[in-house]
Structure 1
């Protein structure tokens, strides 16, 4: 009997349990084992191990999925590193990385590789079908002209009866078929400008070795074309490419461009809105090497790839790459680790790089590539105007100047974007007589008024209640909505610009799978005059007709206690400003603020990232704040804040003399949202200029947290914390 370590989706420190089987199983094999009297899926992590408990207590493996491909050693190494670095149970990390179908205790159907057909030597000696049989003749020509073969999907586009016709020719011995994927045939080359050519050439010098690049290009400078040029070369060599995006809503526009450029490349798309079955199949196609170009959001960083030759991370600064619960990994950082593991280049692209990446580029750890002008020959950077609205009379967030610009732009045939800063006001209900505001009973947040649904909703725990008809404190029935959200902005615009087609873009209006594709179709058809939205519209989109951007409530982020707030605001404003004037028409951006003298606005007005980054780094360096130092947050939640803070402070007191000298450990403080879903939250920050010493300290903390478990307290660890 052979003993095995099996990775299970359980909250144990290493997530590995010992099971027995008559034969040694290969590492990476999926199995089913009993755990607490229930069958659970596991992954063989090690075979022929020495058991640490009595053999009589070790249970047998119940089922082995022999017909499935093994999860490869490099994938296991990635998950082992992830679990260590983020101080998370290995078994749970493994199951975070698996798609739904591979978490089920049953075998999965393997994707069938596409077959590629072509005429063989015998077929080429046969006469082609007569010209009057037009579709058969076109089919024959396609099979005759190809050097590597054509798959059935493409053949069916030529002739609906291709399958039947090709089968008949195959029976005659005229055609051959193969499952070998043909190399990508380069499309007619897109003409790159000098800067783009230089950046693409530099990336190509690093093929076959690890080299991180930071591609810093102003908005609209054509970073995607640089990516595509490198991607094309890698695909033509027969290798795989992993392309990571921060948001699902960027996928449809990118997929359209990829279809035009890489139509012959087997593609896998992995994000949370992909149906579970298809996601599992695309995951397996990637693992088997059937998919050559893999596009996805942060979770796609865990996709097993046998032959990756390039990794691209677009909008690398975006906070969406950081998972904010359970396994709190950063996909960008893991992508860099994977590139080193696979000995291939990685390109991190952004118009507003994270200060961590910028600092690495300045210090030589990353190679900096710059695009300083817009890709479209006629396009220019927009004119940015900072408007002090401190003493202006506002109409639901709009200054008179903003409404006038929107009206004029509509009359002139332009398209506008009204951007509501994501930390802006959401409309809350307020009693003017006694001052009562309607807060969520479960969270330390105001309920948001949804007028069309006639509900108050908490946007954190999703608690809902009907809009009350009177104040519960004083009985006043004249309740007032204060603040403004996308719905109220939309209604204001319909009154101010009555002939304009106004479309609101937020979580509610883009909840369904095809909503983004329909939005792009409407914009391409010039059916939309004014877009209203939040950060979902701020990045990555390329709308040629858009030439005016109005930013409401630009100051919201600056009142935060998070030291990264100015960096995030600058990135948001630069990104949303960059949506304007990307084609022939000049762009105009109006940013409304009550703090016009803040350095962030001066840098945005100048469209000068370097100026902002240099100033921000100078401010952070004396205090060893990231990127000059490293941070981890230890968090706890309990029925009351006192319990959560007390739990953390007691452990801090026990560890004080054991932590490395250069690790600072502060007392427990409330999280920015202290109450969430009926529980109250506290956190302790660990900081150090040494990543190694910080991880030693975090390991001590985790050991102590595990030894001091309490039934009413939950805890978590957030390494390289991004949100305070």
Structure 2
């Protein structure tokens, strides 16, 4: 008897065998179709991997599947292969990895079809007179169908007050019929462009030619200084693939960047552009996913999870701001969308382009090794010139809410010239914490090893790690004093100070708190683009991808943050953030200036960035990692564990390491670091520990991880902790 071997979305790292459902034609079944099956007390949607003649489970214990949900697999063969590869590489349960590659509604077993695809209409030659006067509600329903000859959905019938249960009665009387309606999203315009492309400079043209030059797989690293016109390179390369009948997938790091990217693409292309991100409803997401799958949407723009969006005619993949850590999933299925994009492009034999002004050290290493084609844009587009840098040493200078007098003088000068100023401070809230002036007590989070941030609007204390909130105390929890003072400055406090110092000019704050409402970010951008003098105050939300033609001064209030991070990537992220923020200045005809307030004006990293540029810094960083044997020169994985009792997670990891080191079959060349408590040991009420595995041999590392998961699954102690494996971690905390 044949059996169905399924991947079930669960924490269990195994496949499950089922009997076929009754009256199932096994010859028509294809790997990748969804199957509804009983699983414990629930019914779940699994993915068929194969029909097999053998099973290790006694046949009398096998349950029959309930139903086959698809005639054709929702995911094409290449994406099914990609999701399986990702589950194996990132050491994640295969059933959950495959499920994550599907839209939510498909995971729930909903039909793989558009909204309102099943419609009702009056049958041919149907007439109200066919119904008696006593059937008043049926007459009303039939009249509604007659009023909508193109068809109407059951939702719309209910909205009009119709009685949907009566549809079956009309159907039995041959007065109504249901049918499947497929929306026509096709553009019938032969010209794919709304507006003419801009004239490219020599570097941009060379980059476009390289991207479109070869058929088949090619990985390109497009390194362009901020304002060099990387987006125009994207647009003109995509035009080539669109004219060849292909589709393009563009990944952006955050939802906040999606509207402006979509607007830019819709302004250029006279084509269907769909968007995929977590702010869409499940139904909107499935409809957009289907348009991409059927080739209707020629351009797909999305965040991290959009890497699993199918394309009927794949042409090219772009990853904008490829260095951004948002492309790495930090919970559950911990995949890197950037790395999966390279793997997917390889499977589909198409080019992939990673664009950024500040490439990740990993991507630069790959470019230097010849794995990526390295394209450079060293000059700003048009007549724009690179901004001038000034290191403002604030040692012994008096600060007013984090602002020095020399900086305030420059802000005033730029505003009076009719231009705009951007103030960057990567701390939201009013102040990083609250302190008792008498005894030194600090307002700490009760569930984390972290201070609570003071917010003014609304007035409360907020932990940005576990999201717990509480009212601001009126007296000290330790000594009872009422002398409670805010410590440090956040964006709210800086905004308040600037309103007092510059009452004639608008102060616009941009952080997660001010952009939560729908369209809030777009409204802020529209206001800035009016060009009137103003001061923008914000966090790293302002650093990525925005084009502010009238911003001529960028002030970085705390350029030292991150210089002394415990994470070996801290220096890299600080350098990237500084240059990304600096790139907002002087992007049009007005010259730009960047002022960096620092207590370490002689720090070699800051001086290297300012005087020699990002590439020189990256070369130094790569050399240091080579000497210290750190990624990307070696391969790394982190095993994390957390428990509700201090020390339990660390003991679990220590026992695991001891068991593995006693294993005579352990691969050679594995280095172990830890276990140690996490840098923030307590978070959200859980005590955390971590164990790092390193190896110069990627295959040996993965053999060790496979052995590790088998031991953990068999260890009863693993039920007492929550554990996860993070392959190629970007966050060491």
Using the size of structure 2 for normalisation, the TM-score is 0.87
Encode CA deviations 1:552-599: one digit per residue, 9 max, x unaligned: 112121221101111000000000000000001110111111111222
3-state secondary structure, aligned to 1:87: coil
Q: Name the CA distance, whole Å, in 2 between partners of 1:312 and 1:522.
A: 29
| Aligned equivalents of 1:636, 1:424: Cα separation in 2 | 31
CA contact (8 A) 2:553 2:594 kept: yes
Q: Show the counterpart of 1:233.
A: 240
CA distance in 2, matches of 1:64, 1:336: 33
Match of 2:405 in 1: 400
Tell me if the contact between 1:406 and 1:497 (Cα under 8 Å) persists in the aligned partners.
no
> Contact conserved, 1:27 with 1:70, CA < 8 A, in 2?
no
Q: Distance in 2 between matches of 1:520 and 1:180?
A: 30
Alignment of 1:322-721 (within 5 A): 322-376=328-382, 378-421=383-426, 426-526=431-531, 529-606=534-611, 608-658=613-663, 659-710=666-717, 711-721=719-729
Aligned-pair CA distance for 1:48: 3.5
Within the candidate set 276, 287, 301, 1:295 is matched to: 301
- Give the alignment partner of residue 36 of structure 2, picking from 32, 35, 43: 32
Q: Would the aligned equivalents of 1:15 and 1:92 in 2 still touch at CA under 8 Å?
A: no
Tell me, yes or no, if the aligned pair for 1:503 and 1:528 is still in contact at 8 Å: no
- Structure 2 match to 1:132: none
1:418 CA drift (Å): 0.6
Hey, what's the Cα distance between the residues in 2 that align with 1:180 and 1:409? 47
Shift of 1:179: 6.2
1:394–1:532: structure 2 CA closer, same or farther, 3 Å change rule?
A: same
Question: Is the 1:490–1:504 contact (alpha carbons within 8 Å) kept by the matching residues of 2?
Answer: yes
> Per-residue deviation at 1:34?
1.2
* Alpha-carbon contact 1:424-1:556 (below 8 Å) kept: no
Choose the corresponding residue for 2:196, options 161, 180, 188.
Answer: 188
Whole-angstrom CA distance in 2 between matches of 1:276 and 1:663: 43
Q: Report the CA distance between 1:30 and its aligned residue.
A: 2.1
Contact 1:289 1:306 in 2 (8 A): yes
Aligned to 1:316: 322
Instruction: Report the counterpart of residue 10 of structure 1 in structure 2.
Output: 10
Looking at structure 1, the residues matched to 301 and 100 of structure 2 have their Cα atoms a distance apart, in angstroms, of 18
Question: Higher mean Cα deviation, 633-642 or 581-590?
Answer: 633-642
Q: CA deviation at 1:635?
A: 0.7
**CA 1:47/1:678 → structure 2, altered by over 3 Å: closer, same or farther?**
same
| 2:98 aligned residue (94, 98, 103) | 94
Residue in 2 that maps onto 1:197: 205
Q: Secondary structure at the match of 1:493?
A: helix
Are the structure 2 counterparts of residues 188 and 58 from structure 1 closer, same or farther at C-alpha, using a change threshold of 3 Å?
Answer: same
Matches of 1:180 and 1:111, distance apart in 2: 20
Cα gap change, 1:359/1:395 in structure 2, threshold over 3 Å: closer, same or farther? same
C-alpha separation between the residues in 1 aligned to 2:712 and 2:430? 38
Q: Given the alignment of the two structures, is residue 254 of structure 1 paired with residue 261 of structure 2, yes or no?
A: yes
Aligned-partner Cα distance in 2 for 1:475–1:348: 56
Describe the superposition over 1:159-197 as per-residue Cα deviations: whole angstroms up to 9, x where unpaired: xxxxxxxxxxxxxxxxxx996977663553321111111
* Alignment deviations for residues 378-421 of structure 1 (CA, whole Å, 9 cap, x no partner): 21000011111121111111111111111221111111111013
Mapped contact 1:32–1:64 kept (Cα < 8 A): yes
- Post-superposition shift, 1:67? 6.3
Q: Quick check: 1:16–1:90 contact (8 Å CA) kept in 2?
A: no
Q: Is the contact made by 1:648 and 1:684 (CA closer than 8 Å) also made in structure 2?
A: yes
The match for 2:251 among 244, 247, 261 is 244
The CA distance in 2 between the partners of 1:381 and 1:515, in whole Å, is 30
Q: Is the CA contact (8 Å cut-off) linking 1:311 and 1:347 kept in structure 2?
A: yes
Distance 1:283 1:341 in 2: 20
User: For the residues of structure 2 that align with 1:488 and 1:2, how far apart are their CA atoms?
Assistant: 68
Q: Are the structure 2 counterparts of residues 607 and 421 from structure 1 closer, same or farther at C-alpha, using a change threshold of 3 Å?
A: farther
Separation of aligned partners in 2, 1:408 and 1:191: 35
Q: In structure 1, how many angstroms separate the alpha carbons of the residues matched to 2:427 and 2:311? A: 36
SS of residue in 1 equivalent to 2:401: coil
- Counterpart contact for 1:183–1:235, Cα < 8 Å: no
On the 8 A contact 1:422/1:535 being kept in 2, the answer is no
How far apart, CA to CA, are the structure 2 residues paired with 1:577 and 1:533? 13
Say if 1:469 and 1:346 are closer, same or farther in 2 by CA, change over 3 A.
Answer: same
Give secondary structure in 2 for the equivalent of 1:570.
helix
Residue 53 of structure 1: aligned partner: 57
Cα deviation per residue 1:626-668 (whole Å; 9 max; x = unaligned)? 1111111011001234111110011101111443221101221
Q: Deviations over 1:339-361 (max 9, x none)?
A: 10001111111111011111111
Whole-angstrom CA distance in 2 between matches of 1:357 and 1:262: 30
The 3 A distance-change label for structure 1 pair 443 and 510 is same
Give the conservation status (yes or no) of the 8 Å contact 1:386–1:596.
Answer: yes
Contact 1:388 1:594 in 2 (8 A): yes
Instruction: Report SS of the residue matched to 1:413.
Output: coil
**Residue 118 of structure 1: aligned partner:** none
Cα distance in structure 2, aligned partners of 1:253 and 1:479: 42
CA 1:110 to 1:52, structure 2 compared with 1: closer, same or farther past 3 Å?
A: farther
SS of residue paired to 1:189:
coil
Cα gap change, 1:684 to 1:66, in 2 (>3 Å): closer
CA distance in 2, matches of 1:316, 1:455: 36
Report the alpha carbon displacement of residue 623 of structure 1 after superposing the two structures with TM: 2.3
**Compared with structure 1, are the counterparts of its residues 669 and 198 closer, same or farther at alpha carbon in structure 2 (3 Å cutoff)?**
same
Residues 550 and 325 (structure 1 numbering): CA distance in 2 closer, same or farther, change over 3 Å?
Answer: same
* Alignment counterpart, residue 110 of structure 2, candidates 106, 109, 113: 106
Determine if contact 1:29/1:43 at 8 Å carries over to the other structure.
Answer: yes
Alignment partner of 1:214 out of 205, 213, 221: 221
- Is the contact made by 1:31 and 1:61 (CA closer than 8 Å) also made in structure 2? yes
Report the CA distance between 1:712 and its aligned residue: 2.5
Which runs of no fewer than 5 residues in structure 2 stay unpaired? 118-183
Counterpart in the other structure of 1:272: 278
2-side partners of 1:498 and 1:607: how far apart?
38
Mapped to 2, the partners of 1:469 and 1:694 lie a distance apart of 54
- Contact 1:244–1:296 under 8 Å retained in 2: yes
- State the 1:449 CA deviation: 0.7
Partner of 1:156: none
What is the TM-score with the length of structure 1 in the denominator? 0.88
TM-aligned CA deviation for residue 70 of structure 1? 3.2
User: Measured at CA, do residues 425 and 83 of structure 1 come closer, stay the same or move farther in structure 2, by a change above 3 Å?
Assistant: farther
Q: CA deviation at 1:277?
A: 1.2
3-state SS, counterpart of residue 666 of structure 1: strand
**How far apart in 1 are the matches of 2:384 and 2:76?**
47
Q: What is the CA distance between 1:544 and its match in structure 2?
A: 0.6
Output the CA distance in 2 between the equivalents of 1:31 and 1:672. Answer: 44
Moved more, 35-44 or 438-447: 35-44
Partner residue, 2:311: 305
CA distance in 2, matches of 1:709, 1:514: 49
CA 1:178 to 1:249, structure 2 compared with 1: closer, same or farther past 3 Å? closer
The 3-state SS of whatever aligns with 2:75 is coil
